Chain A
Amino acid sequence: MLEIEIDGQQIQVPDGSTVMDAAAKIGSYIPHFCYHKKLSIAANCRMCLVQVEKAPKPLPACATPVTNGMKVWTHSESAVKAQKGVMEFLLINHPLDCPICDQGGECQLQDLAVGYGGSQSRYQEEKRVVLNKNLGSLVATDMTRCINCTRCVRFTTEIAGEMELGQAFRGEHAEIMPFVEKTVDSELSGNIIDLCPVGALTSKPFRFAARTWELSRRKSVSPHDSLGANLIVQTKHDVVKRVLPLENEAINECWLSDKDRFSYEALNSAERLQRPQIKQGGEWREVDWQTALEFAANGLRGIAQQHGGQGLGALLSPHATVEELYLGQKLMRGLGTDNVDFRLRQTDFRADGRRSGAPWLGMPIAGVGELDRLLVIGSFLRKDAPLLAQRVRQAAKRGLQVGVVGPTAEEWLLPVRSRMVVPPSGMVSALGQLVRALSEQKSVVVSEAFVSSLPAAVSEEASTLARLVGSGERVAIWLGNLAVQHSQAAELEALACEIGRLSGGRAGVIGEAANSVGGYLAGAVPSGTGLNAKGMIDSPRKGYVLLAAEPDLDFADAPRTQAALQSAEIVVSLSAFDSPALRESADVLLPIAPFSETSGTFVNCEGRAQSFNAVAKPLGECRPGWKVLRVLGTLLGLNDFAYEDSEAVSKAALGADYTRKLAGGETFHVAEAASVTDSGAGLERVADVPIYFADPVVRRSAPLQKTKDAAVPVARLSPATLAQLGVSSGERVRVGQGSGTVELVAAADETLAAGCVRIAAAHRTTAALGALSGRLSVERA
């Protein structure tokens, strides 16, 4: 500890602290622009100059280390004189166009200019003009306002992992710019808007939409990935105008992914369902709620009476709230069936009933920083969980060593020490080898159940990777979306748990959606003889309840799902959005509120339940999903549906200590064989769900759909496979899977395992292909 006297207060600060840290400790604000607690120190703005005893000149608080016995004055005459001098320099070339600047009202330069700026300028010369840059569809630029603090540059380099911005030229000609002809394409790019202390970088979708002081600020939780980032949703006249991060060090820190930040643009999309509709005689017509609900209730009741509850099935979205999921399953169970599931893209459910609870990350999100070894299995980590990847990236700088098993070595912008690139069909064997290698290296006996099924030989890569995983003290093993959606997901999970046991670590699941854990806790999974998501499609039901899911985009096998739904007598769809595919499958469309217009709860990957309130009134005649389900339950005469509010529902759903319902990560064993085996001829499909296709909301966010990540899917093949097929990159190929055929552009992908084709799912151009895994044929179109 070091002693420092700062502004007359004697305090102790830890070794390595800066004067800025010490000032923060006593709550003394030192004006600054370039300093940011999450970024490296630049000391270039010079705004934080303070007076230090015995120093001949003022020193920057952000870059001056505290020395024992130091005396600092942050607001003395000489400190303020220096600060004012710097402020004058910052303002001489600044356009001072606050009245037309979107940053106005929340601008650090504007705020500090009030305290440190002059009332008029001594600078009578011509001001600098800097041309604007095209950074893509999310970030607008007014570069003349830039004060060259380089926060954005440091963010892209340090936090997002790739230097997409830099300061070019010298002196007064210095400019912040992207690389020539490039935009900023990071999935975290929106954070540079928050970081920019002036109006140089502002939100393009929000541009000129409102003044910040007109907006109401309301807390919410992101409905997208499994992190559950905390949001501040800003509304004007009940319209969501902007989304900002709500700082939560345990979850999203002060960041947001672009998906969380810009998806709100979909909330008022033209495709929002605003009135209930029913299909009669093949014709859709708008009806009032009463009619629609009675139509739905009668339809469901009719099936239950004719075919028994077993004739019904419910397919619920993992992006739905705990309340919706709970009432959805309760409705089905009330109607006498166990056929309910929310794991719509999953195909292997053999692990059900073998875990000790709901699969989850197995550790707190903030714990990533303390890990020293991490094995990621079958994940598109960077795009599937951008902020989790960001945590891993920071931890890697402090010594975390990352190993990867999966069909692609795609760029995560973080150092991967060791990896096994294997096709999906080779993943079980790869993990088996890891188990064998680990047990040999650590001289720990493999669990009885695995002994007979382990591969006989261990490859060099497996041995290296096992050494990495086995050499840690704080080890985590994460299963990504590809592993969970794998046709042998149960084996992968069991083996991951065994790897956890052998390495002294803990296996967990990253999870694909906001409620991938919450769905389990809410009971939205079949128990006993109930059919799971795949079962309900494989043996079609007579009636379905569809919650917030799109038949052509949100399921493991879109064509079969659509066929099953279309063959049913009644499909009741609760959805915030309309779509042609939905109209083809459904018979009743009940418009429900998206996350912004309802209260609800998401349980994120670390098992943290986060409740939120509506931030805006429901659009048109929309109603919160939980209320619609409540009325449906009542109309159907089911017991216990009279919940007062959503809080009562979530209480019923989660109980007092829901964390006890989380899995313990114990090793388990899968006895029966997988129903689908990935053997046979043809190439293997590797399917990612691209970041901006993942759920109905984000699919409709216009600015996100204009980004590079939302490009139309291509068929990616390894150069060797392309050569074997006699196809070159850029040519069109015909891809056939099952009975579906699509035409796509082929692209070489050096990161992909040989014999694989990577084709994104959840997009209309690839929906005809069906299953996310399996064999397919590729030929020149």
Chain B
Amino acid sequence: MILAGVDGDRAWRLQDYLARGGYSALKKIISEKIPPEAIIAELKTAVLRGRGGAGFPTGLKWSFMPRSFPGDKYLACNSDEGEPGTFKDRDILRYNPHSVIEGMTIAAYAMGCARGYNYIHGEIFEIYQRFEEALEEARAANLLGADILGSGFSFDLFAHHGYGAYICGEETALLESIEGKKGQPRFKPPFPASYGLYGKPTTINNTETFASVPFIINMGGEAFLNLGKPNNGGMKLFSVSGHVNRPGNYEIPLGTPFSELLEMAGGMRGGRKLKAVIPGGSSSPVLPADVMMSCTMDYDSISKAGSMLGSGAVIVMDETTCMVKALERLSYFYFEESCGQCTPCREGTGWLYRVVHRIENGLGRADDLDLLNSVTGNIMGRTICALGDAASMPVQSFIKHFGGEFQYHIENKKCLVSPEVQYEGSQIYVSPSC
């Protein structure tokens, strides 16, 4: 859908997008004078769930915006894709930026926003430049700016290039960052819908969410919903990485069995056995192979299995993976990316990393697993934003599903998976001591 027909160097250009039927949704709204309420109703019918990770129904979110608010209202697109394993939004911006611009313009129309920002992750420069160019094209064609296509509706959209902090993907930290402040989440309530950018009502959605909107308008909510399965409308991009033969982005209907997705990705590298999958980006709980193979790729099925669909970043690990080492790397990421604002996360993420690091390096203690579980318990639900939970869930799930491997590490001061096997799988040399 979003990535359909985007082959070639010029696919991202306005002309190509128009040729693919782009901006027809916007034009339809304008020519048929579709009222904002109808657009939101259509989204609700479509059950478009937020593609950024939380899976919150988009139509409901849009309906939270106070319609009668007298002053400025803002729209923000979260393209600060920083979750390890996730690389879908940058491909949307790379190959189909106008779908995001069109989706945001429709959203702005539906919610009465006069100004929007697309917050683009700080480590992708070319894509930021390209998006700026796409904006210029849209402005030149009067698809953005004052009095869009003579409709009387005006919407200014700007690109905002971040500096690469993971925390700025948290929506209120993102707003702080746009305001020019240090990217630190705000405590909620108040929520952005009432007190967002510059203190004004603001709606923030993920890039893929916005990119899906034109399709819903064109095909109708019902048809979009039917692409997926009940309560999980539409298609979704999955970023498959890890020990597969063809890692990459795959746009498939929600509800597709995981086994099919794995097959699309070329199957397991070297025909090895699947060991575990992180189904929704690094912060979602890991699932063992057998659980994962029985899942379908949608919000409800993955949630029922004890994890989250998240952003749709599927990290595939085969039998050559040392789960302690994998967790160590994840924990280091959250330790480094904690913003430092609130106590449990600032202090706890470092603690988690150090203990896992110790276990990995043969210095584990008998009570370390209990300690890890207790510390994660003290972080989860006690922090300002979800980073504390994100740092804790991998630890809890790794221990839950692969506790034996951790235990082995602590007792034998070395990996259950031998360094030679690890090297074979990852081509990364692992010290024999671990």
> How many whole Å from B122's CB to the nearest CB in chain A?
14
A-B contact pairs, 20 of them (CB 8 A): A44-B341, A46-B383, A46-B384, A57-B382, A60-B187, A63-B187, A82-B382, A89-B343, A89-B344, A89-B346, A89-B347, A90-B343, A90-B347, A92-B347, A122-B371, A125-B351, A147-B343, A148-B346, A170-B340, A172-B349
| List of B residues within 8 angstroms of A148 by Cβ | 340-341, 343, 346
B337 at the interface (CB under 8 A from A): yes
Q: Contact check, B344 vs A86: say whether CB atoms are below 8 A apart.
A: yes
For the complex, what is the distance from the CA of A170 to the CA of B350, rounded to whole Å?
A: 12
Q: Contact check, B339 vs A57: say whether CB atoms are below 8 A apart.
A: no
A169 at the interface (CB under 8 A from B): yes
With A60-B187, A85-B378, A167-B182 known as contacts, the answer to whether A46 contacts B337 (CB < 8 A) is no
Please, which residue of chain A has its CB at the minimum distance from the CB of B345?
A171
With A89-B378, A148-B346 known as contacts, the answer to whether A174 contacts B351 (CB < 8 A) is no
> How many whole Å from A341's CB to the nearest CB in chain B?
54
A338 at the interface (CB under 8 A from B): no
Interface residues of B in 338-364 (CB under 8 A from A): 338-351, 354-355, 358
Please, which residue of chain B has its CB at the minimum distance from the CB of A86?
B343
Q: Which of A46, A90, A92, A174 contacts B340 (CB 8 A)?
A: A174
| List of A residues within 8 angstroms of B337 by Cβ | 170-171
Q: Mark B313-357, 1 if CB is under 8 A from A, else 0.
A: 000000000000000000000011111111111111111001100
> How many whole Å from B182's CB to the nearest CB in chain A?
7
Q: Which of A57, A92, A122, A126 contacts B381 (CB 8 A)?
A: A57
B92 at the interface (CB under 8 A from A): no
Interface centre among A43, A47, A56 (most CB of B within 10 A): A43
For the complex, what is the distance from the CA of A44 to the CA of B384, rounded to whole Å?
A: 7
Q: Contact check, B381 vs A58: say whether CB atoms are below 8 A apart.
A: yes
For the complex, what is the distance from the CA of A126 to the CA of B350, rounded to whole Å?
A: 10
A123 at the interface (CB under 8 A from B): yes
B47 at the interface (CB under 8 A from A): no
With A65-B189, A89-B348 known as contacts, the answer to whether A172 contacts B383 (CB < 8 A) is no
B165 at the interface (CB under 8 A from A): yes
For the complex, what is the distance from the CA of A43 to the CA of B346, rounded to whole Å?
A: 14
> How many whole Å from B360's CB to the nearest CB in chain A?
14
8 more A-B contacts (CB under 8 A) besides A171-B336, A171-B339? A46-B382, A46-B384, A89-B346, A169-B340, A170-B339, A170-B340, A171-B335, A171-B337
Q: Is chain B's binding surface mostly helix, strand, loop or mixed?
A: helix
For the complex, what is the distance from the CA of A89 to the CA of B346, rounded to whole Å?
A: 9
Please, which residue of chain A has its CB at the minimum distance from the CB of B367?
A122
Q: Mark B111-130, 1 if CB is under 8 A from A, else 0.
A: 00000000000000000000
Q: Contact check, A44 vs B351: say whether CB atoms are below 8 A apart.
A: no
Interface residues of A in 98-143 (CB under 8 A from B): 122-123, 125-126, 128
For the complex, what is the distance from the CA of A82 to the CA of B377, rounded to whole Å?
A: 10
> How many whole Å from B154's CB to the nearest CB in chain A?
32
Q: Contact check, A173 vs B340: say whether CB atoms are below 8 A apart.
A: yes
| List of B residues within 8 angstroms of A125 by Cβ | 350-351, 354-355, 358
| List of A residues within 8 angstroms of B187 by Cβ | 41, 43, 60, 63
A777 at the interface (CB under 8 A from B): no
Q: Contact check, A171 vs B346: say whether CB atoms are below 8 A apart.
A: yes
A88 at the interface (CB under 8 A from B): yes
Q: Contact check, A171 vs B384: say whether CB atoms are below 8 A apart.
A: no
Q: Contact check, A93 vs B340: say whether CB atoms are below 8 A apart.
A: no
| List of B residues within 8 angstroms of A92 by Cβ | 347, 351
A45 at the interface (CB under 8 A from B): yes
Q: Which of B338, B380, B381 contacts A171 (CB 8 A)?
A: B338
Listed from nearest, the 8 A-B pairs whose CB atoms lie closest are A174-B340, A57-B381, A85-B378, A171-B338, A89-B347, A43-B187, A125-B354, A172-B350
> How many whole Å from A357's CB to the nearest CB in chain B?
47
Please, which residue of chain B has its CB at the minimum distance from the CB of A91?
B347
| List of A residues within 8 angstroms of B343 by Cβ | 44-47, 86, 89-90, 147-148
A49 at the interface (CB under 8 A from B): yes
Q: Contact check, A43 vs B384: say whether CB atoms are below 8 A apart.
A: yes
Please, which residue of chain B has its CB at the minimum distance from the CB of A171?
B338
Q: Mark A168-181, 1 if CB is under 8 A from B, else 0.
A: 01111110000000
Q: Mark A5-44, 1 if CB is under 8 A from B, else 0.
A: 0000000000000000000000000000000000001011
Q: Contact check, A49 vs B382: say whether CB atoms are below 8 A apart.
A: yes
> How many whole Å from B230's CB to the nearest CB in chain A?
26
| List of B residues within 8 angstroms of A123 by Cβ | 351
Q: Contact check, B381 vs A56: say whether CB atoms are below 8 A apart.
A: yes
For the complex, what is the distance from the CA of A60 to the CA of B346, rounded to whole Å?
A: 17
Please, which residue of chain B has its CB at the minimum distance from the CB of A55?
B381
| List of B residues within 8 angstroms of A88 by Cβ | 378
> How many whole Å from B19's CB to the nearest CB in chain A?
45
| List of B residues within 8 angstroms of A60 by Cβ | 187
Interface residues of B in 366-415 (CB under 8 A from A): 371, 374, 377-378, 380-384
Please, which residue of chain B has its CB at the minimum distance from the CB of A43?
B187
> How many whole Å from A88's CB to the nearest CB in chain B?
7
Interface centre among B341, B371, B377 (most CB of A within 10 A): B341
Interface residues of A in 163-201 (CB under 8 A from B): 167, 169-174
| List of A residues within 8 angstroms of B381 by Cβ | 56-58
| List of A residues within 8 angstroms of B341 by Cβ | 44, 148, 167, 174
For the complex, what is the distance from the CA of A673 to the CA of B208, rounded to whole Å?
A: 80
